[in-house]
Amino acid sequence: MSHSSKSPWLIHYDASSCNGCDIEVLACLTPMYDVERFGIINTGNPKHADIFLVTGSVNDQNIKVVQQIYEQMREPKVVIACGVCACSGGIFKECYNTLGGVDMAIPVDVYAPGCAVRPEAIIDAVVKGLGILEQKRAALDAAKSKKKEA
Amino acid sequence: MAKQTIIPFGPQHPVLPEPVHLDLVVEDETVVQAIPRIGFVHRGLEKLVEKKDYTQFVFVTERICGICSFGHSLGYSQTIEHLMGIEVPPRAEYLRVILHELSRVHSHLLWLGLGADAFGFENLFMQCWRIRERVLDIFEKTTGGRVVLSACNVGGTLYDIDDETLKGICATLDVVRREYDAILGAFLNDYSVRSRLEGVGYLSQQQARDLSIVGPFARASNVNNDVRCLRQGGYAYLESFEPIMSDGGDCLARVIVRAKEVYQSIDIIKELAAKIPAGPVMNAPKGKPAAGTQASMRLEQPRGECYYYAKGNGSMFLERMRIRTPTSQNLGGLVVALAGCDLADVPNIVLTIDPCISCTER
Ligand code: SF4
């Protein structure tokens, strides 16, 4: 594992969550769970981020915002859906203004269930995301060296 | 005249945990006007009453907002109890107020932390959230959830908290108070903090009244609209209740009001925990809300008065459910408080109204 992949930077966006999952994402960063000790930093800039944490389901208004943030992020990148809302629409699935989970808008790599999602589950998902990030990086590297050979 | 420029603020912005969009019309560094745009979090929960029956809907109301989650389930339950004439056992009334005030402590600590983050005091943010975890531990121990508690339903509470645990809660709150004492000075006396807050984002008493501002935002402008003064539900058992007021009208006053409310809530919990009566905690509802019946209810949420209205139609499903949340009232005040401020103070002022967008849009 290359050293750079161990300390991913996160960006968090609240699609249409109830806040429950958002404050749990923030709780991960504060002293009780403190993921910052692993160098995991919450950034506001999509181009700085490796991992995209999305909470809440998507609707017609915010689907574009979610896609925009995703597109601005540089490769390799990993998307984590936090909470059942983000996974599938959850309790809001039947609402008239909800399209469904985040995978309606962008490809999702890791699903972290729970309503609200527990900080432990988020941390687990990020660790899982690290592995995926590494695979994606390896794939990119392989593609690059192939190009060089050719 | 300087040239006017429009700067978009949000929906994705580092200081905002939630998406709200503001178009800031600025002249040099001064904000002339702020135009809010919302709608990113709208889910249409009021309409969901057509698909979830009245006992299930309480779990939907809890998810209107994850911060004042318990308050929403409480307000909804009280409305339906009015609608159907259900008597709530006294022990449940006590427990409800205890859990609701614990939610206020957690909500205010959360807010004080975010506020500190907005004026650039990262350490204080961390300290507030560290203390807040103690309250969440109480939630987890008593109801199993950290954020969404699912403890309240129509007719009472779903769980009892035994007297031993209540004593433990009071002991934990003593620790919270001690730790809170230690950090509060930074909010109230630190001169850099004061210089960021004093005189910033002013809202006069008259403006607060005209715009029907609610909650700590209004109380900081010396308008008392604390619904707890009406002594509904478990609040009737309190010896006395005095709302916390300030006449500052600026960001500092809002911080002070909320900071003091934490102590007040701790006192309320301890008073009620000491004299809670024994007995059942649930009087399960029977039947359906009759056609044409209507009921309304007001509740003091951490962010201010929340209004609930329900109408029955003779089936398990309600005809209409209406919830007017505190932030939808307070956005009007925010626009006024923002006009004329420095661009760098915008995050600060936005946060001092303690906005809850997912409540507002439902
Ligand atoms: S999963 Fe639950 S807690 Fe999280 S945003 Fe959805 S409703 Fe709220």
Residue A3: CB partners within 8 Å, gap ≥ 6? none
Residue B45 near chain A (CB below 8 Å): yes
Is residue B133 within 8 angstroms of chain A, CB to CB? yes
State in Å: Cα A100 to ligand 1 middle.
Answer: 13
Cα separation, B92 vs B261, in Å, equals 23
Comparing CA positions, the residue from B329, B322, B272, B276 lying closest to residue B301 is B329
Residue B84, min C-alpha distance to chain A (Å): 26
In chain B, domain spans: 4-361
String of b and e for A44-76 (b: at least 16 CB within 10 Å)? eebeebbbbbbbbbbbebbbebbeebbeebeeb
| CA B177/CA B166 separation, integer angstroms | 16
Residues B153-210 have pLDDT tens digits of 888 888 888 888 888 888 888 888 888 888 888 878 888 888 888 878 788 888 888 8
ipTM of this complex? 0.77
Q: CB distance A31–B133 less than 8 Å? A: yes
From A26, A115, A122, the mutation candidate for ligand 1 (largest count of ligand atoms within 8 A of CB) is: A115
Q: Amino acid identity, residue B305?
A: E
- Nearest residue CA, atom 2 of ligand 1? A115
Q: Are B12 and A69 in contact (CB < 8 Å)? A: yes
Tokens of B60: 């939907």
pLDDT category of residue A1 using cuts at 50, 70 and 90: very low
Question: Per-residue pLDDT tens for A77-112?
Answer: 889 988 888 888 878 777 777 788 888 888 888 888
Q: Which residues 9-28 of B have a C-beta within 8 angstroms of A?
A: 11-14, 17-19
C-alpha span between B312 and B321 (Å, rounded): 9
List B residues 137-176 in contact with A (Cβ-Cβ < 8 A). 145-148
Cα separation, A45 vs B153, whole angstroms? 42
- Give the model confidence (pLDDT) of B2-48 as tens digits: 678 777 776 666 556 666 777 778 777 777 777 777 777 777 777 77
Nearest CA-CA partner of B22 in B353, B362, B347, B354: B347
Give the per-residue pLDDT at B25: 80
Spell out the SS3 assignment of chain B. CCCEEEEEECCCCCCCCCCCEEEEEEECCEEEEEEEECCCCCCCCHHHHHCCCCCCHHHHHHCCCCCCHHHHHHHHHHHHHHHHCCCCCHHHHHHHHHHHHHHHHHHHHHHHHHHHHHCCCHHHHHHHHHHHHHHHHHHHHHHCCCCCCCCEECCEECCCCCHHHHHHHHHHHHHHHHHHHHHHHHHHCCHHHHHHHCCCCCCCHHHHHHCCCCHHHHHCCCCCCCHHHHCCHHHHHCCCCCCCCCCCCCHHHHHHHHHHHHHHHHHHHHHHHHHCCCCCCECCCCCCCCCCCEEEEEEEECCEEEEEEEEECCCCCEEEEEEECHHHHHHHHHHHHHCCCEHHHHHHHHHHCCCCHHHHHC
Rg (CA), chain B: 21
Q: Do A22 and B13 touch (CB under 8 A)?
A: no
Contacts of A65 in chain B (CB under 8 A): 11-12, 19, 40
Distance CA B314, CA B316 (A): 7
* Number of cross-chain residue pairs from A and B with Cβ atoms under 8 Å apart: 119
Q: Name which of B18, B51, B60 is nearest A19 (Cβ-Cβ).
A: B18
Q: Is B42's CB within 8 Å of A61's CB?
A: yes
Q: Is A55 in contact with A25 (CB distance < 8 Å)?
A: yes
Residue position matching structure tokens 């009472």: B156
Closest chain A residue to the Cα of B56, Cα to Cα: A91
The answer to whether residue A145 scores a pLDDT higher than 80 is: yes
CATH 3.40.50.1100 fits B4-361, yes or no: no
B81 exposed, middle or buried (CB, 10 Å; 0-12, 13-18, 19+)? buried
Burial of A86 (0-12, 13-18, 19+ CB in 10 A): buried
Q: Whose CA is nearest to atom 5 of ligand 1?
A: A17
| The CATH number, out of the four listed (3.40.50.12280, 3.40.109.10, 2.60.260.20, 3.40.50.150), of the domain defined by the range A9-149 | 3.40.50.12280
pLDDT of residue A2: 47
Q: Identify the pLDDT of residue B338.
A: 79
Q: Which residue, judged by its Cα, is nearest atom 8 of ligand 1?
A: A18
- Sort out which chain A residues have CB atoms less than 8 A from B110's CB and list them: 23
In the reported structure, the alpha carbon of residue B129 is separated from the centroid of ligand 1 by a whole-number distance in angstroms of 20
Of A20, A69, A91, the CB nearest to B147: A20
**pLDDT tens, chain B, 362 aa long:** 567 877 777 666 655 666 677 777 877 777 777 777 777 777 777 777 777 778 888 888 888 888 888 888 888 888 888 888 888 888 888 888 888 988 888 888 888 888 888 777 888 888 888 888 888 888 888 888 888 888 888 888 888 888 888 888 888 888 888 888 888 888 788 888 888 888 787 888 888 888 888 888 888 888 888 888 787 777 877 777 788 888 888 888 888 888 888 888 888 888 888 888 888 888 777 877 777 788 888 888 888 888 888 888 877 777 778 888 888 888 888 888 777 777 777 777 877 777 777 777 77
Ligand 1: residues with CB < 6 A are A 17-18, 20-21, 55-56, 83-85, 90-91, 115-116; B 63, 66, 148
